[in-house]
């Protein structure tokens, strides 16, 4: 085999070429993503100003952005502004609830994937509880934990746990018997099989589960804050603004929620996906 | 075909690398119905021998290979390696599957190093470098498996199985999913690799040509429940020429015998 | 097969019967979409037969509080609603498309603070730092703000739990809040159920009116219907003022339709806690302005001061009085 035969060598691209191609693609993709949004905003501005829609119910985007600017200001600077305060509280709640789920539920999910008895015990529980909309938990959780941060964090945790458990277990179960055999034959102990085969092999599913968990948790967080926000958080801000018919603040809050959700997905999970499962070719690049 | 003389037979028994003694295997189908895949197989593979298993589909040739690997247990009888009953998978064996079964999260180099690193063998870097050269993967060390063609991936799998220097190489229809052109090239290149390493090889295939191009002995499995119907010794120098009369002669004989068994399976 | 045809016949008959049942409402000369919520006046006018006298059909649509009614008035999905002093300030800040046409009742006595019966709390001071259910933005809330201002407290001295009417009842019943500050008959319902006892009344703290509010378009286009509604409403107020036991019966009926069993005796005691007077005098309008200023000062409202000159229209009351034969 000294004479080297390169089969379809074109398929093996160098990382730098991949990066360059990705960059141009990204710029174009960004434009494609943003232009429909700009068109909708322009139409909206026009309809609101022309009086085609009730300007109290649907204030023009310019008024919303102006109001957002106001909410980002305070006598002591941007970082002490009311909106930054609400964002901070919401993100901390998300981080706490999702963080707990990430640690506990990834572990449980992987264990379910590995151990048939653990799977048999938890699978029916997960299957029954998973379809319950997370906001349905809020009244019950308020009973347990009161109108507090703990309630919201727990609802976020509840929302995040199921996609993580389900996908982590599915990830382990997706690994073929032959991969495990191959590793065993090469002298891998059970511990080595876990860290060198099961964990990386389950990674595509685990990452998918976490992306799903965070996006669902983000929605549940805002909903839970509306019901049990106790004065702070983006959801509470929206709820409170609605009480006083401050629709500009309601829409500003909705926009901030959308942008933050997008940033979390595109800024945190997309790179993670790119550096793992897309590189490994275990999932096609979306 | 040249039958082995008495002397070589005795030598083979004395230095048997792998032995199957009255091995049988029954499966339970989903309906609960029991199917006897392997009826009664006894065979002995010598140290350094290149053995090929051939037979109709479902005759249990891959199953027997998995028993040698330690993945599966016989229902009856014994499988031995170096005189010891095989209890579990151990790194004195290496395996190459038809589906490559590479680790997609590791680079070409990472895949090849997998066994060496597990056993903390010395001179890993030099060994890996040599193997990459040997199987023709230079320049692709950093590539991930999914960026490679099927043939290239199988080269990685072969290098991975050889890297930690096992005594026995098990190959389960390794070229079965490659196109004809690539397959010919792989067979030719694999002969070079095998001649350098001189491992004992068990090679499961359903291609008569493949078996005869590679193996010292071809074990023909009968229809289910299988036994060894015939053993063909191929004493031709490698690389073999498929247009040579002696090759054609043995090919015709093996094909005829195999066809009889395939007929029986078709019922 | 027989069962099939029978079921089919029933299936066809059901909408026909429903249509027939709704015919009186459709055939009444005047009909009004009224926001229904749990107050003595709203329950009594809807559950009593005051409207029939004026050939008026009241179509009730249920809301928890005036906050939600605000949105319905703004979009024109109801023709009339009871809106407290604070929600009206909010509404007028955002739109001049609505108009206050009368007062449902007046007096701080309808707002009370209740705590769980076995709890140690005796006064508002004891509730500092505790969980208190209240509807943020309501007239009740404005009364609360007025009171804590007079005591030198801040809103953040309490753990405010923003709750709708049924939520407030559930929250104290379950014990997830320490106190409930709400209006009648919510507080009396909690007392009647044996769960709560009152520790504070806002009587004397404020003299807040609650308003009857209509979309301006409705008043302009269906003035006759609006007048008939106000006439029926005044009859209701008369009953609440003069025949408390009969009024209490209606309220009990309304509460039980909302799933709350109440002892009529408790309601009878609660009904006289306010005055049921339709007139929008200068003091009433001054109260509204003061509440707007209070909410503005606490940073709750954005926008300019409403045009007060078009916010109140007392002419419907005069017309209704004539209709009633006064």
CA torsion sign for B55, B60, B64, B70 is: positive
Number of domains chain A is built from: 2
Q: What is the pTM of this model?
A: 0.77
Tally of CA atoms within 13 A in the half-sphere of B35 that contains its CB:
13
What is the average pLDDT across B212-230? 95
In this complex, does chain A touch chain B, defined as having at least 3 beta-carbon pairs under 8 Å apart? yes
In tens, the pLDDT along A181-240 reads: 999 999 999 999 999 999 999 999 999 999 999 999 999 998 888 877 667 899 989 988
Q: Answer for the pair C276, C105: CB distance below 8 angstroms, yes or no.
A: yes
pLDDT > 50? residue B161: yes
Which one of A28, A58, A88 terminates a domain?
A: A58
Report pLDDT for A22. Answer: 61
Residues in chain B with CB shorter than 8 Å from the CB of A186 are 91, 94, 114-115, 118-119, 160, 164
In tens, the pLDDT along B76-110 reads: 999 999 999 999 999 999 999 999 999 999 999 99
Q: Which domain holds residue A31?
A: 3-58
Residue A185 lies inside a defined structural domain of this protein? yes
Regarding whether A142 and A237 lie in a shared domain, the answer is yes
Which of C65, C189, C170, C181 has its CA nearest to residue C131?
C181
Which of A9, A48, A61 has its CA nearest to residue A254?
A61
Residue A178 lies inside a defined structural domain of this protein? yes
Q: Answer for the pair B154, B100: CB distance below 8 angstroms, yes or no.
A: yes
pLDDT band at A278 (very low <50, low <70, confident <90, very high): confident
Residue A98 lies inside a defined structural domain of this protein? yes
φ/ψ (deg, to 5) at B27? -110, 155
pLDDT > 70? residue A12: no
In tens, the pLDDT along C63-89 reads: 988 999 999 999 889 999 999 999 999
Residues A104, C246: Cα–Cα separation, whole Å: 61
Residue A285 lies inside a defined structural domain of this protein? no
Interchain CB distance below 8 Å, C176 and A146: yes
Per DSSP, the three-state class of C238 is helix
Q: Answer for the pair C252, C269: CB distance below 8 angstroms, yes or no.
A: no
In tens, the pLDDT along A91-107 reads: 999 999 999 999 999 99
pLDDT > 50? residue B156: yes
CB pairs under 8 A between A and B: 103
In tens, the pLDDT along C17-63 reads: 555 555 544 455 789 999 999 999 999 999 998 999 899 999 999 99
Report pLDDT for B5. Answer: 45
Regarding whether A272 and A232 lie in a shared domain, the answer is yes
Interchain CB contact of C71 with A (< 8 Å): yes
Residue A28 lies inside a defined structural domain of this protein? yes
Number of H helices and number of E strands within chain C? Answer: 13, 10
Residues in chain B with CB shorter than 8 Å from the CB of A193 are none
> Which residues does residue B36 pair with via DSSP β-bridges, in sequence order?
B26
CB pairs under 8 A between A and C: 50
pLDDT > 60? residue A152: yes
Number of H helices and number of E strands within chain B? Answer: 8, 10
pLDDT > 50? residue A285: no
In tens, the pLDDT along B52-85 reads: 999 999 899 999 999 999 999 999 999 999 999 9
Interchain CB contact of C282 with A (< 8 Å): no
Q: At A126, which CATH number?
A: 1.10.3720.10
Which of B97, B214, B115 has its CA nearest to residue B154?
B97
Report pLDDT for C19. Answer: 56
What region does C183 belong to: left with phi over 0, alpha with psi -120 to 50, or beta?
A: beta
In tens, the pLDDT along B11-34 reads: 444 568 999 999 999 998 888 888
pLDDT > 50? residue A1: no
Regarding whether A161 and A29 lie in a shared domain, the answer is no
Per DSSP, the three-state class of C307 is coil
Which one of A39, A58, A77 terminates a domain?
A: A58
- Hey, what long-range contacts does C238-245 have (CB within 8 A, 24 or more apart)? C238/C276, C239/C44, C239/C48, C239/C50, C240/C40, C240/C41, C240/C44, C240/C105, C240/C271, C240/C276, C241/C275, C241/C276, C244/C268, C244/C271, C244/C272
φ/ψ (deg, to 5) at B89? -65, 135
Which of A282, A206, A256, A270 has its CA nearest to residue A90?
A256
Regarding whether A264 and A188 lie in a shared domain, the answer is yes
Regarding whether A135 and A270 lie in a shared domain, the answer is yes
Return the C-alpha torsion angle A97, A103, A105, A106, nearest 10.
130
In this complex, does chain B touch chain C, defined as having at least 3 beta-carbon pairs under 8 Å apart? no
Residue A143 lies inside a defined structural domain of this protein? yes
Q: Answer for the pair B173, B154: CB distance below 8 angstroms, yes or no.
A: no
In tens, the pLDDT along A48-76 reads: 888 888 888 889 999 999 999 988 988 88
Regarding whether A75 and A36 lie in a shared domain, the answer is no
φ/ψ (deg, to 5) at B95? -135, 145
Interchain CB distance below 8 Å, A147 and C95: no
Report pLDDT for A13. Answer: 47
Regarding whether A183 and A47 lie in a shared domain, the answer is no
Number of H helices and number of E strands within chain A? Answer: 13, 0
Tally of CA atoms within 13 A in the half-sphere of A135 that contains its CB:
14
Tally of CA atoms within 13 A in the half-sphere of A238 that contains its CB:
21
What percent of chain C is predicted at pLDDT more than 90? 61
Regarding whether A108 and A10 lie in a shared domain, the answer is no
Which of C69, C178, C72, C82 has its CA nearest to residue C134?
C178
Where chain C has pLDDT below 50, the residues are 1, 24-26
Regarding whether A160 and A263 lie in a shared domain, the answer is yes
Report pLDDT for C20. Answer: 55
Residues B130, B133: Cα–Cα separation, whole Å: 5
Regarding whether A41 and A129 lie in a shared domain, the answer is no
Residues with Cβ within 8 Å of A247's Cβ and at least 6 positions away in sequence, in order, are A56, A57, A58, A59, A241, C94
Which one of A16, A36, A58 terminates a domain?
A: A58
Residues A96, A150: Cα–Cα separation, whole Å: 10
End-to-end Cα spacing for chain B: 30
pLDDT > 50? residue A3: no
DSSP state of C97: S
φ/ψ (deg, to 5) at B44? -140, 125
φ/ψ (deg, to 5) at C254? -65, -45
Determine how β-strand C81-83 pairs with β-strand C98-106. Answer: unpaired
What is the average pLDDT across B236-242? 92
Which among B101, B105, B185 has the least Cβ separation from residue A203? B105
> Which residues does residue C59 pair with via DSSP β-bridges, in sequence order?
C33
Residues C40, C201: Cα–Cα separation, whole Å: 17
Report pLDDT for C11. Answer: 65
Domains and CATH numbers, chain C: 30-107+207-323 (3.40.190.10), 109-201 (3.40.190.10)
Interchain CB contact of A280 with B (< 8 Å): yes
Regarding whether A77 and A38 lie in a shared domain, the answer is no
Nearest Cα of chain A lies from the Cα of B182 at a distance, in angstroms, of 9
Residue A163 lies inside a defined structural domain of this protein? yes
What percent of chain A is predicted at pLDDT more than 70? 89
Bond from prior residue into C92 cis (ω within 30 degrees of 0): no
Interchain CB distance below 8 Å, C174 and A56: no
User: Can you state the percent helix, strand and coil of chain A, rounding each to 5?
Assistant: 80, 0, 20
Residue A76 lies inside a defined structural domain of this protein? yes
In tens, the pLDDT along A22-46 reads: 666 777 777 888 888 899 999 999 9
Report pLDDT for B14. Answer: 54
Regarding whether A109 and A39 lie in a shared domain, the answer is no
Report pLDDT for C122. Answer: 94
């Amino acid at each position: 085999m000294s004479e080297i035969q390169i089969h379809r060598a074109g398929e093996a691209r160098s990382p730098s070429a991949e990066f360059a191609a990705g960059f141009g693609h990204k710029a174009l993709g960004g434009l494609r993503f943003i232009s429909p949004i700009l068109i909708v905003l322009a139409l909206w501005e026009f309809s609101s100003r022309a009086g085609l829609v009730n300007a109290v119910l649907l204030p023009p985007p310019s008024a919303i952005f102006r109001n957002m600017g106001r909410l980002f200001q305070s006598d002591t600077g941007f970082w002490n502004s009311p909106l930054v305060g609400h964002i901070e509280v919401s993100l901390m709640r998300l981080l706490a609830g999702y963080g707990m789920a990430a640690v506990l539920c990834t572990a449980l999910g992987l264990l379910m994937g590995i151990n048939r008895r653990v799977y048999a015990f938890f699978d029916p529980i997960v299957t029954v509880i998973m379809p319950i909309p997370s906001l349905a938990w809020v009244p019950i959780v308020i009973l347990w934990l009161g109108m507090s941060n703990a309630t919201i964090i727990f609802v976020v945790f509840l929302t995040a746990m199921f996609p993580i458990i389900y996908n982590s277990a599915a990830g382990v179960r997706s690994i073929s018997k032959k991969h495990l055999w191959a590793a065993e034959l090469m002298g891998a102990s059970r511990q080595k099989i876990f860290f060198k085969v099961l964990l990386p092999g389950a990674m595509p599913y685990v990452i998918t589960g976490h992306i799903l968990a965070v996006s669902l948790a983000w929605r549940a967080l805002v909903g839970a804050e509306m019901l049990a926000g106790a004065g702070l958080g983006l959801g509470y801000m929206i709820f409170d603004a609605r009480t006083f018919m401050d629709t500009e603040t309601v829409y500003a809050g909705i926009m901030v929620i959308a942008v933050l959700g997008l940033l979390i997905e595109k800024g945190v999970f997309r790179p993670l996906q790119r550096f793992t499962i897309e590189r490994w070719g275990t999932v096609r690049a979306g | 075909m040249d039958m082995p003389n008495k002397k070589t037979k005795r030598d083979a028994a004395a230095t048997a690398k792998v032995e199957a003694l009255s091995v049988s295997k029954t499966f339970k189908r989903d309906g609960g119905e029991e199917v006897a895949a392997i009826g009664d197989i006894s065979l002995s593979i010598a140290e350094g021998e290149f053995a090929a298993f051939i037979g109709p589909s479902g005759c249990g040739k891959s199953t027997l290979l998995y028993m040698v690997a330690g993945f599966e247990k016989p229902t009856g009888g014994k499988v031995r390696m170096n005189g010891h009953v095989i209890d579990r998978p151990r790194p004195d064996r290496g395996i190459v599957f038809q589906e490559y079964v590479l680790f997609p999260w590791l680079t070409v180099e990472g895949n090849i190093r997998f066994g060496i690193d597990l056993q903390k063998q010395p001179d890993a870097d030099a060994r890996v470098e040599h193997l990459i050269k040997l199987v023709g993967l230079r320049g692709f060390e950093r590539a991930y498996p999914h960026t490679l063609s099927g043939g290239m991936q199988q080269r990685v799998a072969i290098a991975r199985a050889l890297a930690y220097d096992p005594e026995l190489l098990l190959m389960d229809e390794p070229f079965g999913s490659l196109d004809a052109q690539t397959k010919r090239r792989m067979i030719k290149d694999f002969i070079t690799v095998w001649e350098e390493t001189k491992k004992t090889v068990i090679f499961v295939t359903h291609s008569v040509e493949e078996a005869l191009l590679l193996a010292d002995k071809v074990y023909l499995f009968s229809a289910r429940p299988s036994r060894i119907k015939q053993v063909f010794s191929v004493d031709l120098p490698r690389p073999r020429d498929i247009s040579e009369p002696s090759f054609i002669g043995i090919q015709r004989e093996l094909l005829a015998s195999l066809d009889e068994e395939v007929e029986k399976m078709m019922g | 097969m027989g069962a099939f045809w029978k079921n089919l016949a029933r299936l066809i008959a059901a909408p026909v019967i429903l249509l027939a049942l709704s015919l009186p409402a459709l055939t009444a000369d005047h009909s009004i979409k009224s926001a229904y919520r749990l107050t003595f006046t709203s329950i009594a006018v809807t559950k009593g037969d005051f409207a029939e006298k004026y050939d008026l059909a009241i179509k009730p649509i249920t809301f928890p509080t005036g906050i939600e009614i605000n949105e319905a008035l703004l979009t024109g999905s109801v023709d009339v609603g009871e809106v407290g002093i604070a929600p009206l300030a909010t509404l007028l800040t955002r739109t001049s498309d609505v108009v206050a046409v009368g007062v449902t009742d007046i007096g701080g006595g309808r707002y009370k603070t209740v705590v769980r019966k076995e709890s140690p709390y005796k006064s508002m001071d004891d509730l500092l730092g505790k969980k208190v259910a209240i509807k943020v933005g309501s007239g009740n809330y404005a009364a609360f703000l007025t009171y804590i201002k007079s005591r030198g407290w801040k809103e953040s001295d309490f753990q405010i739990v923003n709750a709708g009417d049924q939520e407030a009842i559930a929250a104290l019943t379950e014990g997830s809040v320490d106190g409930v500050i709400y209006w009648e008959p919510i507080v009396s319902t909690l007392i009647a159920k044996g769960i709560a006892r009152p520790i504070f009344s806002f009587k004397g703290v404020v003299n807040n009116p609650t308003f009857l509010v209509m979309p301006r378009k409705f008043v302009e286009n269906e003035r006759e219907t609006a007048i008939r509604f106000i006439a029926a409403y005044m009859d209701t107020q008369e009953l609440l003022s003069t025949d408390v036991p009969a009024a209490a019966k209606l309220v009990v009926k309304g509460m039980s339709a909302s799933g709350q069993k109440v002892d009529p005796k408790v309601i009878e005691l609660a009904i006289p806690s306010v005055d049921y007077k339709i007139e929008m005098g200068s003091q009433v309008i001054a109260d509204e302005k003061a509440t707007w200023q209070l909410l503005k000062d606490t940073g709750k409202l954005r926008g300019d001061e409403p045009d007060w000159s078009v916010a109140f229209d007392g002419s419907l009351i005069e017309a209704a009085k004539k209709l009633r034969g006064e």
